A and B are shown apart, each in its own frame.
Chain A
Amino acid sequence: MTTPALSVDRLAAGYDNGPVLHGVSLSVAPGEVVALLGPNGAGKSTTLRAISGLIRVMDGEIRLAGSNLASLSPSARARAGIVHVPEDRGLFRGLTVAEHLRLGPRKEKLDADAAYEYFPALKPIAGRMAGVLSGGEQQMLAMGRALGRTPRVLLLDELSLGLAPVIVEGLLPVVRAYATEHQCAVLLVEQHVHLALGIADRAYLMANGVSSSSYDAHVLRNDMTLVQASYLGGPEWASEFKDETRLPFIGEEVHE
């Protein structure tokens, strides 16, 4: 197998009050879309932030096409081809769409035409401020900007946040097509599990700052119990909890 575009090995990272990630290992090959699934607070976004260098890595390694990223600043990592679309979309309210598409370091060639090509809907609103765009338009802009930068590794955090499912269903296939076409490695954090698994090749489940081993996306698609257990805390756990401590639900018929 070739060197993965992105590999994370036993990563521990976090904030001032201690680590949030305790052991995350994953890899993404060029042209591959990998989903990172798990309940809120599992550390998915933190993993992406550690990869793009926004938080301190305490232990473990992050490699971009085999070379260690430890010594690179976040902006240097961005220049090296890691493109991170954060949860808040990373847009600038006071900048127009067109300005977004020419923002970047001097050496980087941001291809505005490519962005308009992927998302033609951006063209007519090129002169408008990002702050007044709708959620869907904002996300298109964020995606267009990201793809225009020809990323080697694309980190997408909660693409669907606050968007109607119809819009998300329009965005994700673009990601899939781009990855295959440009051999870009995509790491996707997404709460719409089904949509995510619909375009992903593989997935990792995360809970409490630890990642699982890798699953094939179609395996998870066909058997959702695993995902469901990670999201809902696991039915076994919930039932055990209820039996011990629960008062009767309001309006519940008490079972014999």
Chain B
Amino acid sequence: MQTILVFALLGLGSGAVIAAVALGVVLSWRGSGSFNLAAGSSVMVAGYMFWAFRTGFFHFKLGTWPAVIATLAFMVVYAVLIELLAVRPLRAASPLAKLVASLGVLLLTQALVQVIFGTSPLASPSVLPDSVVVVGGVPVPVAQLILAGGVSFLAAVLWCIYRFTRFGVATRASSENEVAAVLAGLDPNSISVANSILANLTAGAVGIAAASIVGISATTIPLLIVQALAAALFARFTSFGIACAAGMAIGVGESLIFYASTQSWFPSHKGVALSGVQQLVVFVLIVVALWWRGSSLPQRGELRERSLPRVPKQDQLARRMLPIVAACAIALVLLPSEFRQAVVTGLVGTVLCLSFIVIMGYVGQLSVVQLALAGIAGFGVARMSSVYGIGFPLGPLIAVAVALVVGVVVGVSALRVRGVTLVVVTLAAAVAIEKFVFANPNWGGGATGVTVQQPTLFGIKFGSDAGFRGLDGSLPSPVFGLCALAVTAALYAFVANLRRGELGRRMLAVRSNERAAAAAGVNVRALKVCAFAISSILAGVAGVLFAYDFGTVSASMFDVMTALSVIASVYVLGVTVVQGAVLAGFGMVGAVVPLILQKWVLPRDRVGLYVQLLIGAGLLVQLRFYPDGILIASATKRERRRAERLQLRATSAAQPMSEQRAVA
């Protein structure tokens, strides 16, 4: 019993950090209506800055208090900067665009911090006393209690500010009905920036205090956003008290699950306890929260709303595809092995991105889980060949079917939610799958990963170990590349064709307006499930190809940060056109573009970070200047030019034509 209490109290520390991030999420939502995925990054940034001020990283060393003040001052500047770069330009944008902008901030800061401070976790000088008090007969570090108390105090302060001050009343008014707030003479921009500063100061204080307890790490802290979103959902993105309490409870719960995993009754495999139970619980909590607290976030009366990126028609499909397919085929045979590998990876990445085009571009549902589905298929095909001896073609088929089932289950559990809330569900699902399935030695790859047997059919090898080895005679074989090319081209044509047909039309109808689609006889639920199914199959196929392409699968290939960067890069380039998938696919880590950068432009070990940096920055630029995505922006420009030319011709042409028009 006492040990349980110890673990519960130890969980308060990380619970306090989760609670602080959840407070940041609530503040962002109420202040500017943005769904802030980067709330956790603020804690990270503060942690790193404090470390830097304290340890003399910037060539000057500060004492504890000056460093605290300097860090908090920096957080104010950081808040204003983010506000100017990522929030204010998108005031009138849809909630989804605001969310994607915060994704850009997350990717950008995470990469930037690692570029500046290095990738390994740092040990921060502690600010809180490291003594121990005895609570109920057990020793507990004081710091944990102070942190938990401090965050609760901050929540109380925020509650008071919102309840009693003029500013708080103004924020509540503005978040409820922005039009009426503007008519009351309130300036939404200053309300938004003030809340952003409040959120970042909260994050800053916690970042400084928590750094010595949870450690400063650019890989773990930003992802606390998943638990924080669960807490914020329980608070309906409104209540500071509930957000704080739920955050702490999640931290304590995780700690208790960790304690349970040390017990003999806890399911284990070869002496290692089942991993990922915490993440699974968070996912279940989020689903419960959505069903219990209602499916939609509190509505904001916004001034205007910009719709999702445009979806241009797909014309002359075959004519546009053929040269690219031919070029890829030639490249696969001619290029040296390193580039051959990169081209194959690019092709597989294209298939993965096509699954985003369907679910995000055509149906407007931002699903983070696609890469995890690919992972499920990848691990499936690997384990089936290595453990059960089921090879090609049955293995891949089963693997894709499993991905399909999981995808549809996630889709159905998210049916009641749309837009930004779906992101929470799929994000938590992706994390749970990563930790519970992939990192789990029982049925995933554990720490080392699983090797995949290359495909053969009737004794003929056509995997990357096939007989024909290209011009330089080395692995991987172009044969596999050509197979992947055939599959990619077929799926590319399929997704492009989807846009032209009845099903695609209904998808776009649902994306544009669910009510009107229902009135036109479209079964919105069935259609969403269908879209989830199609995109799950695409992701599953990508996963199988990934497994064959790399020869092994491991959890890190399918982690959430990778998934978020892929989403971001598809969004930057054009989430509504198949060409966007190709470019994003070839820009994935391991594919052609990063390879070129790595060979000739960037330091070898940092290329992933720089690509992420580029994507994050690109996202902010794109949302500001090319809201439809870069490819579509150029397509629009082309179309406009063509239309102008046509008009010119029409006006200079004979009279009857204009007369006809007048009649029409």
A–B direct touch in complex (beta carbons closer than 8 A): yes
Residues of A within 8 A of B (CB): 52, 54, 73-75, 78-79, 83-84, 86, 88, 90-95, 99, 102-106, 108, 145, 149
A90–B184 CB distance below 8 A: yes
Binds A, one of B47-55, B166-174, B281-289, B314-322: B166-174
**Per-residue 0/1 for B296-310: is the Cβ within 8 Å of any A Cβ (1 yes, 0 no)?**
000000010000000
Note all chain A residues with C-beta closer than 8 A to B188: 75
Complex: A149 Cα to B181 Cα, angstroms: 14
Q: Which of A52, A103, A108 contacts B169 (CB 8 A)?
A: A103
CB-defined A-B contacts under 8 Å, sample of 16: A52-B183, A54-B303, A74-B183, A75-B182, A75-B185, A75-B186, A79-B185, A86-B180, A90-B177, A90-B179, A92-B172, A92-B176, A94-B172, A95-B176, A104-B184, A105-B185
Given contacts A102-B169, A106-B166, contact A93 B185 (CB under 8 A): no
**Per-residue 0/1 for B146-158: is the Cβ within 8 Å of any A Cβ (1 yes, 0 no)?**
0000000000000
Note all chain B residues with C-beta closer than 8 A to A145: 184
Complex: A190 Cα to B179 Cα, angstroms: 21
The 8 closest A-B pairs by CB, nearest first: A78-B185, A90-B180, A74-B182, A79-B185, A92-B173, A105-B185, A92-B176, A75-B187
Complex: A29 Cα to B44 Cα, angstroms: 59
The smallest C-beta distance from B415 to any residue of chain A, in angstroms, reads 28
Note all chain B residues with C-beta closer than 8 A to A74: 182-183
Complex: A73 Cα to B190 Cα, angstroms: 13
The smallest C-beta distance from A39 to any residue of chain B, in angstroms, reads 24
B183–A90 CB distance below 8 A: yes
B182–A78 CB distance below 8 A: yes
Note all chain A residues with C-beta closer than 8 A to B181: 92
A99–B184 CB distance below 8 A: no
Given contacts A99-B169, A102-B169, A103-B169, contact A92 B180 (CB under 8 A): yes
Complex: A144 Cα to B303 Cα, angstroms: 24
Complex: A79 Cα to B183 Cα, angstroms: 9
The smallest C-beta distance from B628 to any residue of chain A, in angstroms, reads 15
The chain A residue sitting closest to B298, CB to CB, is: A94
- The size of the chain B interface, using a CB distance under 8 A, is 18
Dominant secondary structure at the B interface? helix
Note all chain B residues with C-beta closer than 8 A to A52: 183
Note all chain B residues with C-beta closer than 8 A to A90: 177, 179-180, 183-184
B186–A105 CB distance below 8 A: yes
Given contacts A54-B303, A103-B170, A106-B166, contact A91 B180 (CB under 8 A): yes
The chain B residue sitting closest to A55, CB to CB, is: B304
Note all chain A residues with C-beta closer than 8 A to B172: 92, 94-95, 99
Complex: A93 Cα to B166 Cα, angstroms: 17
Most chain B CB neighbours (cut-off 10 Å) among A86, A103, A106:
A103
Note all chain A residues with C-beta closer than 8 A to B185: 75, 78-79, 104-105, 108, 149
Complex: A88 Cα to B184 Cα, angstroms: 14
Q: Which of B177, B180, B187 contacts A105 (CB 8 A)?
A: B187
B169–A86 CB distance below 8 A: no
Most chain B CB neighbours (cut-off 10 Å) among A92, A102, A145:
A92
Complex: A95 Cα to B169 Cα, angstroms: 8
Note all chain A residues with C-beta closer than 8 A to B179: 54, 86, 90
> Can you add 19 more A-B contacts, CB < 8 Å, to A75-B185, A92-B176, A105-B187?
A54-B179, A75-B182, A78-B182, A86-B183, A90-B179, A90-B180, A90-B184, A92-B181, A95-B169, A102-B166, A103-B169, A103-B170, A103-B173, A103-B184, A104-B184, A104-B185, A105-B186, A108-B185, A145-B184
A54–B182 CB distance below 8 A: yes
Complex: A41 Cα to B170 Cα, angstroms: 33
The smallest C-beta distance from B188 to any residue of chain A, in angstroms, reads 7
Note all chain B residues with C-beta closer than 8 A to A106: 166
Note all chain A residues with C-beta closer than 8 A to B166: 102-103, 106
Note all chain A residues with C-beta closer than 8 A to B177: 90-92
Complex: A92 Cα to B176 Cα, angstroms: 6
B176–A94 CB distance below 8 A: yes
**Per-residue 0/1 for B267-298: is the Cβ within 8 Å of any A Cβ (1 yes, 0 no)?**
00000000000000000000000000000000
Complex: A102 Cα to B172 Cα, angstroms: 13
Complex: A102 Cα to B186 Cα, angstroms: 12
Complex: A145 Cα to B184 Cα, angstroms: 9
**Per-residue 0/1 for B313-338: is the Cβ within 8 Å of any A Cβ (1 yes, 0 no)?**
00000000000000000000000000
Note all chain A residues with C-beta closer than 8 A to B169: 95, 99, 102-103
Complex: A93 Cα to B182 Cα, angstroms: 16
Note all chain B residues with C-beta closer than 8 A to A93: 176
The smallest C-beta distance from B657 to any residue of chain A, in angstroms, reads 24
The smallest C-beta distance from B204 to any residue of chain A, in angstroms, reads 26
The smallest C-beta distance from B588 to any residue of chain A, in angstroms, reads 37
**Per-residue 0/1 for B184-200: is the Cβ within 8 Å of any A Cβ (1 yes, 0 no)?**
11111000000000000
The smallest C-beta distance from B504 to any residue of chain A, in angstroms, reads 25
The chain A residue sitting closest to B163, CB to CB, is: A99
Note all chain B residues with C-beta closer than 8 A to A73: 182, 187
Complex: A79 Cα to B187 Cα, angstroms: 10
Note all chain A residues with C-beta closer than 8 A to B170: 103-104
Complex: A80 Cα to B179 Cα, angstroms: 17
Note all chain A residues with C-beta closer than 8 A to B303: 54
The smallest C-beta distance from B1 to any residue of chain A, in angstroms, reads 43
The smallest C-beta distance from A56 to any residue of chain B, in angstroms, reads 10
Note all chain B residues with C-beta closer than 8 A to A86: 179-180, 183
Complex: A104 Cα to B303 Cα, angstroms: 18
The chain B residue sitting closest to A94, CB to CB, is: B176
The smallest C-beta distance from A188 to any residue of chain B, in angstroms, reads 17
The smallest C-beta distance from A97 to any residue of chain B, in angstroms, reads 12
Note all chain B residues with C-beta closer than 8 A to A75: 182, 185-188
The chain B residue sitting closest to A91, CB to CB, is: B180
The smallest C-beta distance from A73 to any residue of chain B, in angstroms, reads 8
Note all chain A residues with C-beta closer than 8 A to B184: 78, 90, 103-104, 145
Note all chain B residues with C-beta closer than 8 A to A88: 180
Most chain A CB neighbours (cut-off 10 Å) among B182, B186, B187, B188:
B182
Complex: A75 Cα to B174 Cα, angstroms: 12
Most chain A CB neighbours (cut-off 10 Å) among B170, B172, B176, B180:
B180
The smallest C-beta distance from B118 to any residue of chain A, in angstroms, reads 45
Note all chain B residues with C-beta closer than 8 A to A95: 169, 172-173, 176
The chain A residue sitting closest to B168, CB to CB, is: A99
Complex: A92 Cα to B179 Cα, angstroms: 11
Complex: A102 Cα to B184 Cα, angstroms: 11
B186–A84 CB distance below 8 A: no
Note all chain B residues with C-beta closer than 8 A to A104: 170, 184-186
Complex: A88 Cα to B187 Cα, angstroms: 20
The chain B residue sitting closest to A84, CB to CB, is: B183
Complex: A103 Cα to B185 Cα, angstroms: 9
Complex: A54 Cα to B186 Cα, angstroms: 13
The chain B residue sitting closest to A88, CB to CB, is: B180
Complex: A172 Cα to B183 Cα, angstroms: 21
The chain B residue sitting closest to A93, CB to CB, is: B176
Complex: A75 Cα to B186 Cα, angstroms: 6
Complex: A94 Cα to B183 Cα, angstroms: 17
The chain B residue sitting closest to A90, CB to CB, is: B180
Note all chain A residues with C-beta closer than 8 A to B176: 92-95
The smallest C-beta distance from B241 to any residue of chain A, in angstroms, reads 15
Complex: A78 Cα to B186 Cα, angstroms: 8
Complex: A106 Cα to B167 Cα, angstroms: 9
Complex: A67 Cα to B460 Cα, angstroms: 84
Complex: A86 Cα to B184 Cα, angstroms: 11
The chain B residue sitting closest to A79, CB to CB, is: B185
The smallest C-beta distance from B264 to any residue of chain A, in angstroms, reads 51
Complex: A54 Cα to B182 Cα, angstroms: 9
Complex: A86 Cα to B183 Cα, angstroms: 9
Contacting A at CB under 8 A, from B176-233, are 176-177, 179-188
